[in-house]
Amino acid sequence: MNINVIGNDGRPGVKGLREMLTEWLSFRRTTVTRRLQHRLDKVLARLHILEGLLVAYLNIDEVIAIIRYEDKPKAELMSRFGLSGEQAEAILELKLRHLAKLEEMKIRGEQDELSAERDELQAILGSEDRLRELIKDELLADAETYGDDRRSPIVERREARAFSETELVSNDPVTVVLSEKGWVRAAKGHDIEPEGLSYKAGDSFAMAAKGRNNQQAVFLDSTGRAYSLVAHTFPSARGQGEPLSGRINPPSGATFSGLLMGDPARKVLLVTDGGYGFVTSLNDMISKNRNGKAVVSVPKGAKIMSPVVVPGSDKPLYLGAISNEGRMLVFPLSELPELAKGKGNKIISIPSARVQNREEYVVAVAVFAEDDQLEIRAGKRKMGLQFSDLEHYLGERGRRGHKLPRGLQRVDAIDVIQSASNAAGVSDADSVANAEEQPDSE
């Protein structure tokens, strides 16, 4: 804080808090010293008068006679008793009856009190430490008498900084759409049908995410790198968009496997079809670098699957994984680690040689709660499973899992059908944070 004030030297200047307090304490020391010196002068003057009154008391009859009969009683008192002008003047200003009533004990009692005060004042004025201690005690006493609770709280804030472009952007809902060829655009609102938009010849819809105009859209490529761009910078969905490669620098030959938007603290499940995965936050996937950031380590021969947004629920969550051979394993999601990046832990056991030869791999994963229903899709066939139906497939993380019934082993996807209680508990903000309207398995 800086204040423009006139200092003790009488000149204006800009002073900080430390300078203000230091200069005020100097002023306070001067003020207290002047006050004490003024009081000491008064005490010394009174003691001087009392000495004269004591002389008058001891010689009361002679003093009365001088006052009655002398033409110049003041000069006579001064010469007769060796008094000063102030002492003689004090005696003469007393009324006669007061002069007669002067008592030695009263005079000597006042002398003793004032002498003690004089010694104390002289001791304080003669010691810098005692003067400083007096100032401190007086300030504490004033704070106790006049102080009250602070009305403007002192709060430590972050360092002041300029507004970023994102902070000045509106919070309108948008839907970011990415095509198969990597063209991106943004449509206002969440009620559009991205499949129905027009695309260039040979191109088609790939994925979409719902969020807000001032949020980051996170793109995950097939090599495990994540890129982020602010949604309001994308061209309008009225056109056909622009190539995403003009904004970022993905590795040669990389394709896009996922698109996410929402609350940066939202949890996301990242899985490779080699059977490994981990939970991370959307914030850990955000990068300002055009080259993105390495998030997922892809095992040899494996591919990245589309990210799965973890529901914001206080109920226990489970992870279901199905391989192309129709093996299904279900286990608590808490058994997977939360990482910022890496390969993750084994979800379902698939021999690495079979993954490299693309003989066996994961085809679908889903995150759900006990009161949700799983719907397994295999071609035109569907099968709904309640949690009680999954007992045969429950196991420890990293096991091989068990075969699904015949006719449902060539699984295309798993859909999670939320229970009425879970669906009612999802807020509008959560639906935005989920970002994807694609099935959870994709």
Q: How many domains does the structure of the chain reveal? A: 3
Distant-in-sequence, close-in-space partners of 361: CB < 8 Å, separation ≥ 6 = 273, 274, 275, 302, 303, 323, 324, 350, 354, 355
Whether 439 maps to a domain, the answer reads: yes
Q: 331 and 389: one domain? A: yes
Rounded Cα–Cα distance for residues 62 and 74 (Å): 13
In total, the chain counts a number of residues equal to 442
Instruction: Please check whether residue 155 lies inside any domain of the structure.
Output: no
- Report pLDDT for 421: 56
Query: In the prediction, which pLDDT does 229 show?
Result: 94
Collect all residues with Cβ–Cβ distance below 8 Å to 218 and sequence separation of at least 6: 226, 227, 228, 258, 259, 260, 261, 282, 285, 286
Summarised one tens digit per residue, pLDDT across range 293-342 is 999 999 999 999 999 999 887 889 999 999 999 999 999 999 999 999 99
- Within a domain: residue 156? no
CATH of the domain at 405: 2.120.10.90
- In this structure, the answer to whether residues 112 and 198 fall within a common structural domain is no
Q: Is 176 helix (H, G, I), strand (E, B) or coil?
A: strand
- Packed helices 73-81 and 60-69: angle between N→C axes, nearest 10 degrees: 150
Using DSSP's 3-state secondary structure scheme, residue 227 falls into: strand
Residue 338: the pLDDT is 94
- Closest to 320 in 3D by CA, of 356, 281, 373: 373
Residues 234 and 272 in one domain: no
Q: What is the pLDDT of residue 422?
A: 56
What share of the chain in percent tops pLDDT 70?
Answer: 92
How far, CA to CA in Å, does 278 sit from each of 24, 335, 336, 346? 61, 10, 6, 9
As a whole number, the mean pLDDT across the chain is 88
Listed residue (33, 29, 35, 27) closest to 9, CA to CA: 27
Longest dimension (CA), the chain: 144
Least confident interval from 96-105, 211-220, 290-299: 96-105
Instruction: Round to the nearest angstrom and report the end-to-end CA distance of the chain.
Output: 56
- Whole-angstrom distance, CA of residue 340 vs CA of residue 389: 34
Provide φ and ψ at 70, rounded to 5°.
-90, 145
- Residue range 67-88, pLDDT digits in tens: 888 889 999 999 999 999 999 9
Asked if residue 170 and residue 134 are part of one domain, the reply reads no
Q: Are residues 277 and 308 in the same domain?
A: yes
> Quick check: 346 and 398 in contact, CB under 8 A?
yes
Q: Is residue 304 part of a domain?
A: yes
Residue type, 125: L
Read off the CATH number of the domain in which 87 is found. Answer: 1.10.268.10
pLDDT at 438: 39
Residue 415's φ and ψ, nearest 5 degrees, are -105, 140
Residue range(s) defining the domain that contains residue 6: 2-146
381 contact partners, CB below 8 Å, separation of at least 6? 407, 408
User: Looking at the predicted structure, is the pLDDT value of residue 429 above 80?
Assistant: no
Boundary of a domain, candidates 146, 175, 198: 146
116 and 194 part of one domain: no
Q: Is the pLDDT of residue 431 over 80?
A: no
**pLDDT of 368-420, one tens digit each?**
999 899 999 998 899 999 999 999 999 999 999 999 998 888 999 999 988 75
Which of 261, 442, 280, 441 shows the shortest CA–CA distance to 367?
Answer: 441
The answer to whether residues 122 and 168 belong to one domain is: no
- Of 319, 286, 325, nearest in space to 414 by CA: 319
Closest Cα to residue 418, out of 364, 375, 382? 375
Inside any domain, residue 157: no
The type of residue at 267 is: K
pLDDT of residue 164: 67
Is 195 domain-assigned? yes
Kindly report the number of other CB atoms within 10 A of residue 169's CB atom.
16
Mean pLDDT of 243-265: 92
pLDDT interval class at 131 (50, 70, 90): very high
pLDDT, tens digit (0-9, with 9 covering 90-100), for 140-155: 999 999 988 888 888 8
- Radius of gyration (C-alpha) of the chain in whole angstroms: 46
Q: Which residues make Cβ contacts (< 8 Å) with residue 105, sequence separation at least 6?
A: none
| Local structure of residue 348 (DSSP, 8 states) | S
Residues 25 and 127 occupy one common structural domain: yes
Q: Are residues 412 and 272 located together in one domain of the fold? A: yes
pLDDT of 276 reads: 96
Does the residue 293 lie in any domain? no
152 assigned to some structural domain: no
Determine the Cα–Cα distance for residues 188 and 175; give it in Å rounded to an integer. Answer: 6
Q: What are phi and psi of 383, to 5 degrees?
A: -140, 125
- Does residue 14 sit in the same domain as residue 104? yes
Q: In terms of domains, do 190 and 239 share one?
A: yes
For residues 139 and 212, membership in a common domain is answered with no
